[in-house]
Amino acid sequence: MVSARFRFYEELNDFLAPQHRGREFSRSCARAATTKHMIEALGVPHTEVELVLVNGESVGFDRILHDGDRVSVYPKFEAFDVAPLLRVRDRPLRESRFVADAHLGGLARLLRMAGFDTLYDNGFHDDEIESIAGREQRIVLTRDRELLKRRTITHGCYVRALKAQEQFAEIVGRLDLARSARPFRLCLHCNAPLQPVEMARIVDRLPPTVRLRYRRFSTCAVCRRVFWEGSHWQRMNALLRATLGTGGEDRMAIPHAVSGQRIDVRPLGDDLPTARTVALFKSAQLEAIRMVLPAGKPVPVHQVPGEITIQCLEGRIELTFDGRRQELAAGEMMFLAGGVAHGLVGLEDSSALVTIVLGD
């Protein structure tokens, strides 16, 4: 037997026995015990760990412990980037996709509402979740610590909150999801992509009052449900804005168009005062946005890496860039090179078509 000293930091202490929380303590280890084995033996799932230091050196989960080792274990860092120090992860996941266990159905629906591909079935068994996570590179969401200790699960989150909305806020905060949210692009019921649909194609499936009040619809090709921006949508929108912050406001859009689909970018006219900014489509190389600019409400100065075009569709807008100001009227367009800092303001209620080059 060997003996090592352990110290866990921040929220990782929640998993420890009370006498071990917030302090360094000694623990006997079997010969050839690894850091992962001992961390999980003490109750902490390895998926909750971001950095392990042994005697001050960053190590992986396969580091064998020796007599007298001092082990420091850290959760995700919020204040600074520790990526150059990490030894416990092969690589980050390029896309945040999830699989949720049987107790997190409400959370799964909210993540889908925010646009995150989330698999959920209340019949999923732990073996199936483990298999899906490995095969599809998904992050496991669960309140079962033992599930997260499984060897092949490399990315996972133990969900601490008990209510769905609180769980949603917790996961958005822990994984910094606000900037990558794309609300209302997935079906809440079956996780399939939603597609815009013309009213004429689904008019027989709409209640009479909906036919009179709404003009924009989307549908799911799997379950064939139809969605519109009614009171339920407004409540979901309010929840998303509260959770995602102001950065999510401009992304509250009917789903992106697909290849070959017609997109209406004609002036909004009488609908302009109540319209909102929407993302029309996004590919690996290009994004197009219809931006609504209420009179006097500025878009702060910012920059994007790729080239950008701004075409005024209606009204008048003022563009600020390179210390200059340029007014654009309906039908006029401005091109800016990548990296140019610029801001926008509507001189009157206006809308603009913005395209951004994303790829090289």
Q: What is the pLDDT of residues 277-302, one digit of tens each?
A: 777 887 778 888 888 898 988 877 77
Quick one: average pLDDT of 21-38? 92
In a domain, 258, yes or no: no
In a domain, 287, yes or no: yes
Q: What is the pLDDT of residues 56-85, one digit of tens each?
A: 888 889 999 999 999 999 887 544 444 555
Cβ contact 296:346 at 8 Å? yes
In a domain, 90, yes or no: no
In the listed set 41, 64, 85, which residue is the last one of a domain according to the structure?
85
**In this structure, what CATH number is given to the domain that contains residue 19?**
3.10.20.30
Instruction: Inform me whether the pLDDT recorded for 151 exceeds 90.
Output: no
Measured over the CA atoms of residue 268, residue 270, residue 271 and residue 276, the dihedral's sign is positive
pLDDT band, residue 232 (cuts 50/70/90) = confident
Give the range of the structural domain holding residue 315, as residue numbers without chain letter. Answer: 275-360
Q: Supply 92's token pair.
A: 């980050």
What's the mean pLDDT when you consider all of the chain? Answer: 85
Instruction: Inform me whether the pLDDT recorded for 104 exceeds 90.
Output: yes
230 and 281 co-located in one domain: no
Q: Is the pTM of this model over 0.85?
A: no
Place of tokens 């064998």: 64
In a domain, 309, yes or no: yes
**In this structure, what CATH number is given to the domain that contains residue 299?**
2.60.120.10
Pairing of strands 98-100, 118-120: parallel
Total domains present in the chain: 4
pLDDT band, residue 246 (cuts 50/70/90) = very low
Lowest mean pLDDT among 75-89, 114-128, 212-226: 75-89
Instruction: Inform me whether the pLDDT recorded for 245 exceeds 80.
Output: no
Q: What is the pLDDT of residues 318-349, one digit of tens each?
A: 999 988 999 999 999 999 998 888 889 999 99
Closest CA to 220 of 191, 259, 250, 181: 191
In a domain, 232, yes or no: yes
156 and 125 co-located in one domain: yes
pLDDT band, residue 154 (cuts 50/70/90) = confident
Position 89 scores a pLDDT of: 61
Q: How far apart are CA 221 and CA 218, in angstroms?
A: 10
Give the whole-number percent of the chain exceeding pLDDT 70: 90
What count of Cα atoms within 13 Å lies in the side-chain half-sphere of residue 194? 28
Instruction: Inform me whether the pLDDT recorded for 18 exceeds 80.
Output: yes
Position 85 scores a pLDDT of: 53
Pairing of strands 2-8, 25-29: antiparallel
80 and 104 co-located in one domain: no
Measured in whole angstroms, how far is the alpha carbon of residue 308 from the centre of its chain?
24
Measured in whole angstroms, how far is the alpha carbon of residue 200 from the centre of its chain?
33
Q: How far apart are CA 357 and CA 285, in angstroms?
A: 6
Neighbours of 97 (CB within 10 A): 17
CA torsion, points 194, 195, 200, 203, in degrees to nearest 10?
0
Q: How far apart are CA 339 and CA 300, in angstroms?
A: 15
23 and 75 co-located in one domain: yes
Task: DSSP for 252-271, please give it.
Answer: --SPPP-TT-----S--GGG
In a domain, 247, yes or no: no
